A and B are shown apart, each in its own frame.
Chain A
Amino acid sequence: MATRQTASLARLMRAPAIILLLIWMIVPLGMTLYYSFLNYNLLNPAGTSWAGWFNYRYFYTDPAFFDAIRNTLVLVLGVLVITVVGGIAIALLIDKPIWGQGIVRILIISPFFVMPPVAALIWKNMIMHPSYGVFADLAQVLGMQPVDWFAQFPLTSIIVIVAWQWLPFATLILLTSLQSLDGEQMEAAEMDGASALSRFIHLTLPHMARAITVVILIQTIFLLGIYAEILVTTNGGPGNASTNLTYLIYRAARLNFDIGGAAAGGIIAVILANLVAIFLMRAVGKNLD
């Protein structure tokens, strides 16, 4: 349908969005790259000088860096496993004929709409607090010693909070996919004598593959940037026990005023995110077309 006039009009209409995003992508990233080669501290801006690879080498030799990478991976993988497995299970359950399905859906989706700082505060104070939290009350009832979650299991605690926030997302998407499953196909398989388990493995799971792929991809993008949950609960501690890469860079930039170092960390984060993206896209790309 593209006639000549509409084509040139279309170009004009696309331009603002493309130009804005192009600027948004190139300018700050270029600046980050530039700063990453500077000795630049906001506390001593006069002492700015060319640093070469120093910032990168500094990061590479800092044990906190490797802790942060490890924590980032554990956080992402932990949340992914919980949300995908839990999401499939819950989706299968609420896809069954039940009374009040609408309300059940609303209850389950709710945590996703809770902003990260509030989610973190709720878990920190209402649920996991060592003296006033529900877990502590529960432990008392059972005659056990209450656990100081954020001191003893900081990363696990954050995984629990983040998984709680993202479980609804995974459930909702997997449920949507499940509901588009062809009923006749299932009945045909039943006629062919397939058991419930083999129907799940051979029909349901392959049908959901695309949705699972999408859940993993999108959650990974967001999970690499987890920040507010850490800021509000553990501040990355104790030590570096719950510091992820995002938080480490934030600390360098905002608490240590080390612009050069934070910029180098930013570049490393970009490289990592791209590695993950390429790896994921390739591993699951065939499910996306």
Chain B
Amino acid sequence: MGRITLENVTKRFGDVEVIPPLNLDINDGEFVVFVGPSGCGKSTLLRLIAGLEDTSGGRILIDGQDATSTPPAKRGLAMVFQSYALYPHMSVRKNIAFPMRMAGVPQDEQDRRIESAAKALNLTNYLDRKPGQLSGGQRQRVAIGRAIVREPSAFLFDEPLSNLDAALRVGMRLEISELHNRLETTMIYVTHDQVEAMTMADKIVVLQAGRIEQVGSPMELYRAPRNLFVAGFIGSPRMNLIDGPAAAEYDATTIGVRPEHIAVSGTEGKWKGRIGVSEHLGSDTFFYVEDTGLAETITVRAGGDIDLHHGDTVWLSPDIAQMHRFDANGDRIA
């Protein structure tokens, strides 16, 4: 079981309130991603749940039990750190065994769990190496292995992929998702990368300045961002946000149109512009269209085989049905 509830949880460092009173429900077996720009308080929130920081107010419930002042070791949670935090003087086997040793798990049970974790994580051949002799991806797996063998009620991940290169990151992302499918254990995952959030999460929590901006499934956030911040943060490339007369036309202070919701044509359309940079990726083509008379450069996604290039004049037409409208406060107009 791994149901975690935050009730009015607050954190202050001295006089600075990094997390104003915050409420959140995490259901058993859910994959929850905390996402937000650096400094938004997502890591602090994770550390509060872990017990590595004291709360300044409010309650943390784990499976209905008040765990606010329970020491980290007693919360039944496992954490994977950004730096992996492996013990450099211990072999991989000893690293993975450490939490079980601390918990007094019998030796044969330890061996069994190490074997199965090593097999699942492709570490069988590396069990007798020291962390210093492993690659970044392998270290990451050891850290995950150390978490798995504890059989925790929830896993906490603190930006676990940020030290890996791009290709490895995609691979590890899949592995973690598969792990979640297999274990069906609650996972709380912190990242600043919205792609990770979109691809992995059952539920995304978007944070800014310690405040929750929106909670929802990836597609809910994509389809109906509650405000300008979420609109700009979720989706890649970024949503085009346009204000001024072009927005007023739709009774909004700002309108948002995702690049994939703009049709591009060489002959006719609503907004006329000129292609600045064009990126032909094969499957897709991205145009950065300038001189449209709108405030900023408009990003457009088109098909892979479109024959338009830098300097060409184009016409853009937004898909009105997929347009997002925001009021003067930046909130969504329903």
Which residues on A are within 8 Å of B, measured CB to CB?
1, 3-4
- Of the A-B pairs whose beta carbons lie under 8 Å apart in the complex, a sample of 6, sorted by A's number, is A1-B52, A1-B53, A3-B52, A3-B53, A3-B54, A4-B54
In the complex, what residue of chain A is closest to B52 when comparing beta carbons?
A1
Q: Interface residues of B, CB < 8 Å — how many? A: 3
> Inside 8 A of A3's CB, which chain B residues have their CB?
52-54
In the complex, what residue of chain B is closest to A5 when comparing beta carbons?
B71
In the complex, what residue of chain A is closest to B72 when comparing beta carbons?
A3
> Inside 8 A of A1's CB, which chain B residues have their CB?
52-53
In the complex, what residue of chain B is closest to A3 when comparing beta carbons?
B54
> Inside 8 A of B52's CB, which chain A residues have their CB?
1, 3
Shortest distance in angstroms between A258's beta carbon and chain B's nearest beta carbon? 54
**Measured CA separation A1–B51 after assembly (Å):** 9
Give me the 5 closest cross-chain CB pairs, A-B, nearest first: A3-B54, A1-B52, A4-B54, A3-B53, A1-B53
CB contacts under 8 Å to A, within B39-55, are 52-54
**Measured CA separation A271–B54 after assembly (Å):** 46
**Measured CA separation A4–B53 after assembly (Å):** 9
Shortest distance in angstroms between A9's beta carbon and chain B's nearest beta carbon? 13
In the complex, what residue of chain A is closest to B47 when comparing beta carbons?
A1
**Measured CA separation A1–B50 after assembly (Å):** 11
Shortest distance in angstroms between A274's beta carbon and chain B's nearest beta carbon? 34
Shortest distance in angstroms between A204's beta carbon and chain B's nearest beta carbon? 32
**Measured CA separation A273–B54 after assembly (Å):** 45
**Measured CA separation A4–B69 after assembly (Å):** 11
**Measured CA separation A3–B52 after assembly (Å):** 7
In the complex, what residue of chain A is closest to B51 when comparing beta carbons?
A3
Shortest distance in angstroms between B52's beta carbon and chain A's nearest beta carbon? 6
> Inside 8 A of B53's CB, which chain A residues have their CB?
1, 3
> Inside 8 A of A4's CB, which chain B residues have their CB?
54
**Measured CA separation A3–B54 after assembly (Å):** 6
| Chain B 233-249 interface 0/1 with A at a Cβ cutoff of 8 Å (1 = within) | 00000000000000000
**Measured CA separation A3–B53 after assembly (Å):** 6
**Measured CA separation A273–B53 after assembly (Å):** 44
Shortest distance in angstroms between B244's beta carbon and chain A's nearest beta carbon? 46
In the complex, what residue of chain B is closest to A4 when comparing beta carbons?
B54
Shortest distance in angstroms between A182's beta carbon and chain B's nearest beta carbon? 22
Shortest distance in angstroms between A79's beta carbon and chain B's nearest beta carbon? 42
